[in-house]
């Protein structure tokens, strides 16, 4: 369910952006256009906030260090690291 809910938010964001882009060409009275632009802008801001929160929540689940420099000093090296760090004999 999370995947479809996320996609519907993204699709809603795209459609809202397209609707706002089309507003000046629809021939609406000025007050209607202003109201719809403000509501659309608030909708885009809210959707952006929710999507960012979801991305940050997904990113917090990844706690693995990807760089060797970030590994704590007491961690043991992997077998590949011990083979590459050995001095060459010969």
Residue the block writes with tokens 């077998």: 79
Residue 32: its pLDDT value, please?
Answer: 94
Q: Kindly state whether residue 90 falls inside one of the protein's structural domains.
A: no
Q: Kindly state whether residue 81 falls inside one of the protein's structural domains.
A: no
Q: Kindly state whether residue 16 falls inside one of the protein's structural domains.
A: yes
Q: Give the whole-angstrom CA distance, residue 10 versus residue 47.
A: 8
Could you tell me the residue range of the domain that residue 52 belongs to? 2-62
Q: Kindly state whether residue 82 falls inside one of the protein's structural domains.
A: no
Buried b (16+ CB within 10 A) or exposed e, 51-64: eeeeeeeeeeeeee
Residue 59: its pLDDT value, please?
Answer: 74
Q: Kindly state whether residue 19 falls inside one of the protein's structural domains.
A: yes
Number of domains in the chain: 1
Q: Which stretches of the chain score pLDDT less than 70?
A: 1-7, 60-90
Residue 65: its pLDDT value, please?
Answer: 54
* Entry pTM: 0.56
């Amino acid at each position: 369910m999370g995947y479809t809910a996320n996609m519907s938010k993204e699709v809603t964001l795209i459609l809202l952006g397209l609707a706002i882009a089309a507003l000046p060409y629809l021939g609406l009275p000025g007050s209607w256009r202003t109201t719809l632009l403000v509501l659309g802008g608030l909708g885009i801001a809210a959707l952006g906030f929710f999507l960012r929160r979801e991305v940050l929540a997904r990113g917090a689940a990844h706690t693995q260090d990807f760089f060797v420099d970030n590994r704590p000093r007491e961690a043991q090296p992997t077998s590949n690291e011990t083979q590459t760090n050995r001095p060459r004999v010969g």
